[in-house]
Structure 1
């Protein structure tokens, strides 16, 4: 059964989880007149960028539909303490489990649901969030309809939304301290939201007795990264990579294309956060 057939089902809820990123936002626009009674949901971790909230307000205005905001009963600091001060990483991802998945599963409850996920036709290697609940069916309209990245840009431009402003320096939506960020993105956070960079830095700890490091990146602390000489080196390396990419692709390639193509760990990122 294709997604359009599922969309006609009136005996279940139809839900689109939004991240504040380009793909899920374009999906909301794409489905607006195709899926009756579609519920738009945003799982708010409480540690999102202000640009994300601003973009969701624009999206809500365009849709002329309420975006339901849900959140965990407790915030990031509570769970950090529960996990003994160990920061989340690509292996544990406890932030996604506790701040995104659990509230979303609670929102779904035991209802039969069709869940719409914005994975595109040009990223078959990626897998979105698929609930383990027996009553949830996950569908991928973009993938089924053959839509690729350029189609996402077109959808957002045609409706007047454009891209979220954080794409000027960041490749993904999600928490401001997301451990999947590239180093160039950490520099972007430093330059665009110094207060948030300093908050992220305050979470990092080094055990004075054992030397064990609890940092967002395995090989470098934010204290080390924010030194002027290190910032300059990161920018220089990023520019070199962009020049290499520019030789491979058309000269009018978008900034966001280049971010996506160069994103370290992009394929591993938690799509419930980043789509």
Structure 2
């Protein structure tokens, strides 16, 4: 029986930090680092993955399914994916991964999959193995590495954070429905063509009878109106200031009391609970 070690990268901070950790602590393992490309990723994601390749000293394997987002959108009658029907994750992330490792499993080989669930994420559950030869492991949880540890790994390695963290909380497609409303506003500012593409998908879906819009409770055409943008920006700033005031001071890092991650500012009605395979 042969062994294969795989580690999926989302373009986000946690999975990148896990790749760094495994490279530093288990150089004896031949790990296949892979990225399931939907073709709708932020350009900053590709830049970050290229930087991570430099640290790892090896190429990241891009797993591209034979069928892209547009194909699956047609299969679902132009209905947009949503928090209630996450067909994008199922068809564009999980299915290509399963197809990629299937030849190994069918030969009777053992596959170890390393997933970046942190020690401070007791509520999260990773991919449950449905094959006796697929073993899913969580090194961060096993070794007590939390969110602060992830930042330390990224900083010490020189890889740092993806550039999109300057304005967005997580990786994923440009039109991910788990974005906060402020992130839609910032997408329009930074990547207007991607915002317009998302609007076109939404308009087609609504015309086809889809009950979902990308952002809960309003269309992107409604969201991008100047008065609405000002309201979203003001609401976000107010929420941020309140969160900063509530944030406890870490006596070990007193100089960091002013920092706050945008994903600490999610509202329940904006759809927190992102897909693990897309955002870790």
1:1-275 pair list within 5 angstroms: 11-35=2-26, 36-109=29-102, 110=105, 111-205=109-203, 213-249=211-247, 250=249, 252-253=256-257, 257-264=260-267, 268-275=273-280
Distance 1:153 1:63 in 2: 17
Contact 1:71 1:100 in 2 (8 A): no
Judging changes above 3 Å, is the alpha-carbon distance between structure 1 residues 198 and 58 closer, same or farther for their aligned structure 2 residues? Answer: same
Distance 1:225 1:182 in 2: 12
Contact 1:181 1:264 in 2 (8 A): no
Distance 1:126 1:267 in 2: 13
Deviations 1:86-118 (A, max 9, x none): 000112111111111110001111242111011
Contact 2:179 2:215 in 1 (8 A): no
SS at match of 1:147: coil
SS at match of 1:55: helix
Distance 1:267 1:214 in 2: 16
Deviations 1:60-98 (A, max 9, x none): 011101110001101111110110010001121111111
Distance 1:185 1:267 in 2: 13
Give the gaps of 5 or more residues in structure 2: 250-254
Judging changes above 3 Å, is the alpha-carbon distance between structure 1 residues 236 and 83 closer, same or farther for their aligned structure 2 residues? Answer: same
Contact 1:15 1:38 in 2 (8 A): yes
Judging changes above 3 Å, is the alpha-carbon distance between structure 1 residues 258 and 103 closer, same or farther for their aligned structure 2 residues? Answer: same
Deviations 1:23-68 (A, max 9, x none): 0000000000333101101000110000000000000011101110
Distance 1:264 1:23 in 2: 22
User: When the two structures are superposed, what TM-score results if normalisation uses the length of structure 2?
Assistant: 0.89
SS at match of 2:6: strand
Cross-structure match for 1:7:
none
Query: Which is further off, 214-223 or 114-123?
Result: 214-223
Post-superposition offset of 1:248 = 1.3
Post-superposition offset of 1:22 = 0.2
Judging changes above 3 Å, is the alpha-carbon distance between structure 1 residues 43 and 226 closer, same or farther for their aligned structure 2 residues? Answer: same
SS at match of 1:177: coil
User: When the two structures are superposed, what TM-score results if normalisation uses the length of structure 1?
Assistant: 0.90
SS at match of 1:60: helix
Post-superposition offset of 1:204 = 1.1
Distance 1:254 1:101 in 2: 38
